[in-house]
Structure 1
Amino acid sequence: MIIFISIFVLTSLISSTLVFSSLNNFPIARPGCKSTCGEVQIPFPFGIKRKCYRTKQFLVTCNNTDFTPPKLFWGNVEITDISLDGQITVVRSIAKNCYDKQQNRSSDNNPILELPSNFRVSNTANKFTIVGCDSYGYVSGRRRIGRNFTTGCTAMCSSRNDLQERECAGAGCCQTTFPEDVWWVRIDVRSYSNYTKVSDFSNCSYGFIVKDKAFTFSKDNLTNLSNVTKLPAVLNWDIGKGTCEVAKSNLKAYACKSAESECYEPVSGSGYRCRCRNGYEGNPYLTSGCIDIDECTLKISNCTKNAKCENTIGSYTCSCPKGHKGDGKEGDGCVKKQSLMIAYVLIGIIALLLCIILLYLELKRRSQRKTKHKFFLQNGGSILQEKLATGEVSPQMVTIFTSTELQKATNNFHNSMIIGRGGFGTVYKGVLADRRTVAIKRSIRVDPTQIEQFINEVVILSQINHRNVVILLGCCLETDVPLLVYEFISNGALSSHLHDEAKARVLDWNMRLKIATETADVLSYLHSSASTPIIHRDVKPDNILLDHTFTAKVSDFGASRLVPVDLAQLSTMVQGTFGYLDPEYMQTHQLTEKSDVYSFGVVLLELVTGRKALSFDRPVEEKSLSSYFLYVLKQDLLVKIIDEKIVGSGNMEQIYSVCKLAKECLNVKGEDRPNMKEVAMELQGLILGGKHSWERNNADNIEEMEYLLPNNHDGMGGVSSSVGYDSISRDHIGLPINGGGGR
């Protein structure tokens, strides 16, 4: 306790001494106004009586009746120091919460501080502190920007031996900061167990806002703070509202009255302050408040030892003795004349080398800038700019990253940052300057025919707002190949979990059904709820990512198409991945939302069977999963291909229902398939334990489907090795048609 009080008194004395020394011999208050109260200076704009203060916010009172020496008050708040740098030190109450041995509670909680405009609690000069061994506390309040805030911390210990002198890191004492611009504050302190576990040495909690370094924790504080009622805290103040520019427009109300003063805006707050210019000191709020200081007498000049310092108005000069030349200031200072020629030669050489280096760097910078601009145009920059200008892409939704930013984020695209490879290229993990972890897709080659598809992915993703869609953060067009920046999904692609023996065991039936439902919900949203309907065109497990909670995130919209509201289908070149392609789409080249339904049906089969859509390692009849599924379904041998890892008590009915749903999705004719909204409702019904929400009575088309499915064609490509962020994979196809374009 003695140590704490000593520090507080010493801090106050030092603060007062600094004020006295800095303002000594300079005007402090207005003429005829009292400039001190006890040991506290009262500089204008503060004042005790009328015409001595600027506005009522700066009215203070000096109580010399009840206190010796007198004390200065601001309302009912005691002031121990006023600084013209925009701070005042006040004394504030401590919040307390205590229980005696009979568990009777006594408390002095919720000390509230409410400040007028232009005043706020300093978030840099104060700390919110909790003291106790079974304690937690909150500081809450309001900010000038119209927001509320709450923060706090916990102080715990089980024995006095846990405590460290002068340490306030959670054992018996904790400290934390709070936001800026705070004008209203409330403090609450409480106990987790009413001190029953530590009552032999601590039965109270204490909470307070205290000036930084004015409080040093001691073991004795667990008991002696009960005798302390107030501690110092720092408030910030501004002289007026608005910026300096606005304030200067009204000279009558402008507060910086001294001719040698200047206006500045503090880092936080909405007002302005005044200060004396360099070379002057005093009170800038008074007409003749800023007085020239003698830097030579005060020995605050930077003249060298052998130079002579001479004071000037607002500044000073340094002159060298005879036989020397220079400015007499630190650095070169004063040098002998005979050494000047050598110095000039050296300076000339250094200047020449510097010019050469700067010229080289400038030429290199221009070359890099020219190259980046070339890549920008080559990678579709003009197309993207046109879409931004027309409003097709929102600037708030898509960030244009620079190549420098992404190089730093990936350690210059180091191999250790690679999280996936495929025929399309490489995906890197990166950490941006703001600490966000992202996935950066980098193509392996520049294909001019894919540039429009790349820009298309940016356009489509900027219009999608769904929690189960991978968020596109932005792109970079300054490199040799275009880059896309996505949110980072930590658990990889669904395919890596389904087709890895160890991971697949973790993926039980409930998780697989949840993933299927979330994916169906996304596709339903794209088809019917998006502002413009979207057909994904490449639905597969490689493009379904899983986060740390195994929540599905649909990715890769490079092949997607926006559907005009007046068109039921689009004529396009065939694109997609073998094993998932709609047979009707392959024959007719007519793209509809039912193409995604077919692909999703194959995904359902992979979830149920654990098999790949195409596998050349299996017998010929089992190579195509969809064809083999229809075969075993026809032979009533469905149990033969169900993944044994998901079979459990009571879930076979759900599994058979999903298989039936998959069969409906795999109908050859698109008109016989359900839409994605119906599929999503069916899966949601299974999760909720409901019955089928719809029933289809179409005749089986298994023979027709088997005929059309690409199950026995070699050269159809393999299973994609992508990680979900790619749009150009080695098992994709693109078949040109007559009269059909990419858009």
Structure 2
Amino acid sequence: MGCSCFGGSLVRRKKDDAHGDQDLEGQPLENIKTFSYNELRTATDDFHLRNKIGRGGFGTVYKGIHKDGTQIAVKTLSAESRQGVREFLTEIKTISNVKHPNLVELIGCCAQGANRVLVYEYLENNSLDYTLLGPNRTVKLDWGKRSAICTGTARGLTFLHEELVPHIVHRDIKASNILLDQNFTPKIGDFGLAKLFPDNITHISTKIAGTTGYLAPEYVLGGQLTLKADVYSFGVLILEVVSGKSSSRANWGGMQKFLLEWAWELYKEGKLLELVDPEMDEFPEEEVMKYMKVAFFCTQAAANRRPMMSQVVEMLSRDIRLNEKLLTAPGIFQDSGLASPSKKSSESSTSYQMSSVPITITQVTPR
């Protein structure tokens, strides 16, 4: 029994909620494989703990082997997510059509009874969080791999933000949502938190989601969701990749500081190279410095000063020198609930509305 079970559950739901899922009812799922719940139980050995490979706010992910021998990642959505049939189908319809080399591909789904399950391609090297930031690193990532992870993730976000119609704001860009294939090619995963972002809406106020340490200040304080909140999170991710340190901890630099705050202080003191992961024996200092400075451009307190992701790709991939005179202090989310630029900065942001990036922000000077 496959996801034809959508039919019965939708009919019952319609009787209970006349205003519910009428716009989705009766619409077939195109270009996506349907699985029965028993198929997925068999593939994961009844969702055995040894096959558990990740857990997020929306559920747990298990490694599985389909009956045809294909390895799969099976994401069971938690009951706590309160994701009904309408939300589930909306997510499926959205992500099944989103295909890019730097995005995790959705293979199929199941909605049987109360069960909501997504089936993704399986990626051999787990998440960036596990590989680079975990307590037991099993792989040594040189600068070549780390820079490719940054640029690949940037390209994936550029696709979501600027090439896909309607645009998608991911809302939860973090190391655990960057998956790595056998060649360490990065793929952005977990679209369970993603929302569509139409062109004619400047911001979407929504229930706060995401992970502290990655969250843009305007998102934390006002729940204002824009593409620039993802850009902020990506900037923090760059610092993690360069340093090998997690932004979710607030005790870097020997004090109660988030990674971004510590990095900015090192930058102001001219000691930014102290942030670099000591496990990288050799690396091009100037290029690594540039990546960290791009991270600062992405995390500026005023959202409208942050670049678009296509500009970030250019900044990372081209042999250019950044105009640091245009750089302003990052917005830091404090435990007290305040979000502010560094104390050394005289500039603060009063508006977090989405706007076009001033062309001067990413001015570059050829070498």
Shorter-normalised TM range = 0.7 to 0.9
Q: Is the CA contact (8 Å cut-off) linking 1:418 and 1:426 kept in structure 2? A: yes
> What residue identity is the alignment partner of 2:39?
E
Partner of 1:562: 196
Q: Is the CA contact (8 Å cut-off) linking 2:244 and 2:277 kept in structure 1? A: yes
> What residue identity is the alignment partner of 1:387?
L
Tell me if 1:698 matches 2:326.
Answer: yes
Partner of 1:657: 290
CA separation of 1:430/1:529 partners in 2, compared to 1, >3 Å: closer, same or farther?
same
Partner of 1:387: 24
Post-superposition offset of 1:634:
1.7
1:56-95 to 2 correspondences below 5 Å:
none
1:447-596 to 2 correspondences below 5 Å:
447-448=81-82, 453-500=87-134, 503=137, 506-596=140-230
SS in 1 for 2:64: strand
Q: Determine which structure has the larger strand proportion and give its number.
A: 1
Q: Deviations over 1:32-79 (max 9, x none)?
A: xxxxxxxxxxxxxxxxxxxxxxxxxxxxxxxxxxxxxxxxxxxxxxxx
Q: Deviations over 1:299-330 (max 9, x none)?
A: xxxxxxxxxxxxxxxxxxxxxxxxxxxxxxxx
Q: Deviations over 1:536-590 (max 9, x none)?
A: 1110110000011111111011111111122232232222111111112223332
> What residue identity is the alignment partner of 1:572?
T
Q: Is the CA contact (8 Å cut-off) linking 1:446 and 1:480 kept in structure 2? A: no
Post-superposition offset of 1:626:
1.1
Gaps of 5+ in 1: 1-364, 715-743
Q: Is the CA contact (8 Å cut-off) linking 1:420 and 1:428 kept in structure 2? A: yes
TM-score, normalised to structure 2, is 0.80
Post-superposition offset of 1:374:
5.3
CA separation of 1:614/1:450 partners in 2, compared to 1, >3 Å: closer, same or farther?
farther
Post-superposition offset of 1:697:
4.3
2-structure distance, mates of 1:434, 1:376 = 32
Partner of 1:419: 53
Gaps of 5+ in 2: 338-367
CA separation of 1:376/1:644 partners in 2, compared to 1, >3 Å: closer, same or farther?
farther
Tell me if 1:634 matches 2:268.
Answer: yes
Post-superposition offset of 1:609:
0.9
Percent identity over the alignment is 33
Task: Report the structure number with the largest CA radius of gyration.
Answer: 1
> What residue identity is the alignment partner of 2:191?
F
CA separation of 1:655/1:569 partners in 2, compared to 1, >3 Å: closer, same or farther?
same
> What residue identity is the alignment partner of 1:661?
V
Partner of 1:603: 237
CA separation of 1:590/1:416 partners in 2, compared to 1, >3 Å: closer, same or farther?
closer
CA separation of 1:502/1:376 partners in 2, compared to 1, >3 Å: closer, same or farther?
farther
Post-superposition offset of 1:509:
0.9
SS in 2 for 1:574: coil
TM-score, normalised to structure 1, is 0.41
Post-superposition offset of 1:424:
4.4
SS in 1 for 2:279: helix
> What residue identity is the alignment partner of 2:286?
E
CA separation of 1:389/1:532 partners in 2, compared to 1, >3 Å: closer, same or farther?
farther
> What residue identity is the alignment partner of 2:292?
C
Compare relative contact order (CA 8 Å, sep 6+) and give the higher one, 1 or 2: 2
> What residue identity is the alignment partner of 1:700?
T
CA separation of 1:700/1:511 partners in 2, compared to 1, >3 Å: closer, same or farther?
same
SS in 1 for 2:46: coil
Number of equivalences: 331
2-structure distance, mates of 1:695, 1:451 = 49
Partner of 1:235: none
Partner of 1:680: 313
